[in-house]
Amino acid sequence: MNTADLGLPVEVPSTALFTDQYELTMLQAALAGGTAERRSVFEVFTRRLPDGRRYGVVAGTGRVLDAVENFRFDADVLGFLRENGIVDEPTLEWLAGYRFGGDIWGYPEGEVYFPGSPVLRVEGSFAECVLLETVILSILNHDSAIAAAASRMSSAAGERPLIEMGARRTHELAAVAAARAAYVGGFATTSDLAAGFRYGIPTVGTSAHAFTLVHDRERDAFQTQVNSLGRGTTLLVDTYDVQEAVRTAVEVAGPELGAVRIDSGDLLLVAHRVRQQLDELGAVKTKIIVTSDLDEYAIASLAAAPVDAYGVGTQLVTGSGHPTSSMVYKLVARAESADPEAPLEPVAKKSSGGKTSLGGRKWAARRLDRYGVAEAEVIGTGAVPAELADRQLLVELVKGGRVLAREALDVVRGRHAAARANLPLSAMQLSRGEPVIPTEYV
C-alpha cells in the first residue's frame, strides 16, 4: 500500500522543494556558463563529532534513497518556481526532465563513522548532484543525530528494552523519522503509529494520566483498562499515591498484571520500593517501566534499579543535546570540461576558521588490531593498500540512477549492533572524550 494515497503526513510525492533556493540559482548559472555537465564528485562528512561523543552513527540512508527517487519537478512545483521568479525558463525546462542518473556510494546504514569519514559520495554531472545537497543533509544530519543518541542510550540500558515515545516533543514528520533512527540505534519499540505503519517498527502504548483522572476513582480506571486490554496491560501508578496505586493495581489485575509504569519522582528509590511491594503482593513477574525525561545518563544511573524497560522522549528526539550531526556536502573533485572522458581533478575549499576540506575522491577503510577491534579509520584518495582491501567501508547504493541497496530496517539495526561491538570498550563510556579511534589520511 502506498501511504501517500491515504493522505497521511508520513511521506510526500516530491522532495524537489526540500532544498535551498541557491541550489537552483547555482544550477541556472551553471547551465548558462557551460559548467553544468562537468562530471563531479560530492562527499558528505563531518569535520568533528559533537562535543564529547566518541563515535557517530550513520542513519537515514534508506530515506535518502527514497528522497533521491522522489526528487521530481512536477507541474505544480514548476509553476511555483515560475510564478515566484526563482529561475529562468531554460532552467525550468531542464528541471522538468530532471532524474538523478549518477552514482551514490556510502557507508551502509547503521555503520559507525568518525571525523572525516566520507559517509556518502554522490557522483554525476555538477547539475544533477548539486540539487541534492540540502535534502541529503537534512535527512542525514537529523537521523544520524537521533541514532547516535539512541545508541548511547541502548548501550547504557544493556539488555533492558527501550521505548521511543517522543512524538509529542517534535514536528509530526520528524517524529516518524526519529522513531526510525531510534530503532536503528537500538530502541525496541515506538509509541508513534505513523512510524509503525511506515516502517514496520513494533508499537506499544496503554494509557496516560488523563485516563485515570477522567474516572471517579483510580480503581475504576484500572478496572476499566484491565477489562478492555487484559491482565497483561501496563498500569500507570503515579497519578496520586504510588504505594496505594500498586496495591490497587494488583488487587484489580491479580499477580498476572503485565507491568506498572512510573513517570515521576526519584525513579531509583521508587523503583526499589515498587519492586519490593509487587513481590510482597505476589506479583513477582510484573515488570516495572520507567519514563520521565530520561537520557543516557539517567538510564545509566538506574542500572542497579529493578527496572525492566525505559521510555524515552524529549532527550531522544532532540539528539540528547546534539540535534544535528554537523555533516556537510562538499565538492571534492570535478572534470575540467563537460567531456565525459575528461579526468577528475581534486578541488577543496581553503579558508581560515577550521572549515577547510580535503580534495579528491576518497575511499575509507577501518583497520583492526590483532584482536579484531577497530583501531583506526583510514581515508585515502589513491590506491587502497592491500592490507585494507577487504576492510573498505563504502558500498554502492545507486548506479546510473537506479537504487541498488534497499534494506530491511532490522538488517540495519543488526548492523549497528555489530559495528558498535567492534569498537574499543571505551566507546561505551558516557564521560566526555575524543573519538574512540583516530582518523588517518594516506
| 89-96 vs 75-83: helix crossing angle, rounded to 10 | 170
Region 414-432: mean pLDDT is 95
Q: Are strands 162-164 and 56-57 parallel, antiparallel or unpaired?
A: unpaired
Strand partners, 365: 378, 392
Look at 333-342, 349-358, 431-440 and tell me which has the smallest mean pLDDT.
349-358
What's the pLDDT at 5? 45
φ/ψ of 28, rounded to 5, equals -55, -45
Residue 85 has pLDDT above 70, yes or no: yes
What's the pLDDT at 278? 98
Residue 3 has pLDDT above 70, yes or no: no
Percent of the chain with pLDDT over 90: 93
**Coil, helix or strand at residue 429:** coil
pLDDT in tens, 234-245: 999 999 999 999
| Interatomic CA distance for residues 272 and 278, integer angstroms | 10
C-alpha cell recorded at residue 393: 567501508
Contact between residue 37 and residue 123 where contact means Cβ atoms under 8 Å apart: no
| Interatomic CA distance for residues 262 and 267, integer angstroms | 7
**Coil, helix or strand at residue 113:** strand
pLDDT in tens, 148-200: 999 999 999 999 999 999 999 999 999 999 999 999 999 999 999 999 999 99
Q: How confident is the model at residue 294 (pLDDT cuts 50, 70, 90)?
A: very high
| Interatomic CA distance for residues 360 and 222, integer angstroms | 64
What lies within 8 Å, CB to CB, of 395 at 6+ separation is: 105, 106, 107, 108, 405
What's the pLDDT at 355? 72
| Interatomic CA distance for residues 244 and 258, integer angstroms | 18
Count other Cβ atoms within 10 Å, centred on residue 407: 14
Residue 4 has pLDDT above 80, yes or no: no
C-alpha cell recorded at residue 437: 579511534
pTM, whole model, 2 decimals? 0.94
199: left (phi over 0), alpha (psi -120 to 50) or beta: alpha
